[in-house]
């Protein structure tokens, strides 16, 4: 059964995601780790500092087992 994932990117890393968009929808054929879902969008997971799944902190190695909203947070930049 496919898994629906909504990905929201916060911070400057959004410019590396397809079309520079901050919101993306994915249909995953099976459970994947968050970092694998990021790769599905053609982005290097090292650009992401933190993630939240359905409102709670999560590791990029956490598996997405059901429909979810994933918020990705870029590292802080600037000085």
For residue range 28-75, what is the model confidence (pLDDT) as tens digits? 989 999 999 999 999 999 999 999 999 999 999 999 988 999 999 998
pTM greater than 0.85 (yes/no): yes
The domain segmentation of the chain, as residue ranges, is 3-73
Domain 3-73 CATH class label: alpha beta
* Alpha helices by DSSP H, 1-79: 34-40
d(CA 53, CA 78): 27
For residue range 12-28, what is the model confidence (pLDDT) as tens digits? 999 999 999 999 999 99
- CB-based burial, 1-31: b 16+ in 10 Å, e otherwise: eebebebebebebbebbeeeeeebebebeee
């Amino acid at each position: 059964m496919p898994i629906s994932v909504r990905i929201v990117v916060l911070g400057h890393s959004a410019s590396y995601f397809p079309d520079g968009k901050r919101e993306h929808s994915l249909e995953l054929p099976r459970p994947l780790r968050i970092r694998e879902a990021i790769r599905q969008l053609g982005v290097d997971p090292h650009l992401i500092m933190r993630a939240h799944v359905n409102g709670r902190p999560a590791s990029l190695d956490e598996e997405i087992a059901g429909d979810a909203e994933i918020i990705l947070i870029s590292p802080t930049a600037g000085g």
